[in-house]
Amino acid sequence: MSLAIFQEQIELEREWREAEIRFLNNLQEGLAEKDRPKIRRSIVCLLYAHIEGFVRFAFSLYVDQVNRKGLTCRDVSPAIAAAAFAKELKALKDINSKSPFFTKALPDDKHLHGFARDVDFITHIGNFYDHPVVIAEGYVNTENNVGREVLEKMLFQVGLEYSDLKDAYSPLNRLLNVRNDIAHGKRKQGIDDEDYNIFLNCCRSVMNTISRRLTNSFGAEKYLK
């Protein structure tokens, strides 16, 4: 996929989401002032849903296109290589994994089974640099909770800068908390003008930032060494 097509896919996804947000925003502006805070409860939940949905789509597209490049671990950045080798790394760290050769004779020998995992890992790591870059579906995951920690984690997992997004984190975490409180029945009051505008701008800002970051990174081939 060319950069132009990648950018087009990202923009099309963002545009339909922003169109729906504009429609609902215009709808609430046409209501009586006393009714606006009530309908904003639903709109705020949708704002968060659009953030999570867009973030999931954008990262999935990025990872899918990296997978389609036909690269090996010798070609890519450490983060992408670790993501491609995630299955083997997970097996190494799984303390419940036991060697089939000793499950009956020595089922509780932690040192022995740990050593067996080490041996298995060393066996696989011999082919590390020739290992194809195929990042598993779901490796980069929104966890149904796109706040600061999850967004930073997702960017870090694909080797991209995340520390310069601090301006978006405070309103994003507030939006997430309010959405959760509404969904769990803890918050029954409406959304006032100030909070609503903060959340509306937050949604646009996060989608714009993620769109720009992933598009620029794809174009600059940041996934490579």
Query: Is residue 85 very low, low, confident or very high in pLDDT (cuts 50, 70, 90)?
Result: confident
pLDDT surpasses 60 at 103? no
User: Which stretches of 73-129 are DSSP H helices?
Assistant: 78-84, 86-93, 110-125
Residue 190 to residue 187: CA distance in whole angstroms: 8
Structural contact between residues 172 and 147, judged by C-beta atoms closer than 8 angstroms: yes
Average of per-residue pLDDT across 133-154:
90
- The whole-model pTM stands at 0.84
Per-residue pLDDT tens over the stretch 151-201 = 999 999 999 987 767 778 889 999 999 999 999 988 989 999 999 999 999
Helices vs strands, H then E, count in the chain = 8, 0
Per-residue pLDDT tens over the stretch 3-16 = 999 999 999 999 99
- The larger pLDDT score, comparing residue 86 to residue 122, is at 86
Residue 33 to residue 196: CA distance in whole angstroms: 13
What per-residue confidence (pLDDT) applies to 150?
92
What per-residue confidence (pLDDT) applies to 86?
81
